[in-house]
Structure 1
Amino acid sequence: MTPRKILIIDDETKVRTVLRKAFESEGFDVVEAGDIATARRHLTATPLDLVTLDLNLRGEDGLDLAREIRSMRQIPIIMITGKGDVIDRVVGLELGADDYIAKPFHLREVLARVKTVFRRSARDPGVPNCVESQTLDGLIIDLDRMDVRDRDGQSCEVTAADVRLLRAFVDNPLRPLSRDRLMDLVNGTDWSPLDRTIDNQVARLRKKIERDPANPELIRTVRGVGYMLAERPVPQA
């Protein structure tokens, strides 16, 4: 099997070196970028399986680059940054980042999260999907291909964050899920009780898949608990 390729984007040479050695020790192929111009060259010319991104790059905002990456390619992004502000983390996750790790970090934690993201976002070649597509209240969804079609057959244009949240609901239909549990399922990382990311992500997903987002019937609010998928998906014939 071809080794997965990781792009490290960080303007600190020491950080890039530490991460590169750790990733290579696990059998990953690694390329580096110390600035956005170099990162863009890799993003356009190199087949990549995952990006680690520092938000605090000299002269440019890493969040802007994250938006650019999301507009170009649906590859996993792990933000590894010294910016620990809750707002930066919320914005990063809402842009579709798969995880967010603050500096200073422990290498074992970084490696564990990279492996978790790979397990969550991609399947190994040759492993068949148990269910390729499903129907859900008239929607046609294929989460492994990040394809969600509305009731007229048009693309819902879901993001990576939308798909992770929808998968959490699809895997747990008719079961109330707390915000804590959804954060664990979607992001797999620690979070602040003040973090409203899940509420924002649910609101955004409802706009894309509910018949009437103002009166949601598919993803229902469970008072005092969190949210619940009110219908069980059915394998498409």
Structure 2
Amino acid sequence: MNEVAPYAVGDFTSPAIFSCSPRSGGNSDNAAEFFREGVLRAGGRGQLFYLRDFAIHPCLGCMRCEQDPRGECFLVARDQSSPLFQALLSAPMLFIAAPIYFYHLPSQFKAWIDRSQSYYLRWERGDALLKGLPPRSAVINLVAGRRQGERLFEGALLTLKYFLATFNFTIQEHHAFRGIDASEDLRMHSQAGEELIAAGREAWVNLVKQNSV
């Protein structure tokens, strides 16, 4: 029997877990599954989103969202970005796993980030929904095939920081692994699995504590 996806039935009490790699069954998928396993072991559950399964049109830079009375992007009616943004608006916490491509994030993920421009403009104007979002935490996992590069992860982390700020997420912790390229590299890593499972467990425990206050 297939597990019911919490968000599909209107249950937004579970962490939103995003795998943002175009490759199926690779290291970002494994990272997301490790984190979710930690949440499950702690007694919770998480909603997994594989970004590649969603058709996302890139921002056109047309600024029509700035003129729209509701501040909406007209492309939401033409692609599948709405449930992704709904997760950012509703999830109590967030986990994002992504690979590094040329010192930054994959193109589809960056396209989704760019599409948040309409939300950023609304936030700048003092939109009640966005300004009223509670402060929430995000955990980031990045992997790179390169073993060297002093600033290998900096660009991606900076972009994620400001992308998530619009939705009142703060990066609580990030995990970064080098030399991870082949699809099973993360699973073969001596510490990554345990580290991410522990992060998922801790995230759920902290979430329960916050909700009990």
* Structure 1 or 2: more strand by fraction: 1
TM-score past 0.5 threshold: no
Could you tell me the TM-score, scaled by structure 2's length? 0.41
Structure ID, larger Rg: 1
Structure having the larger proportion of residues in helix: 2
Higher relative contact order (CA 8 A, sep 6+): 2
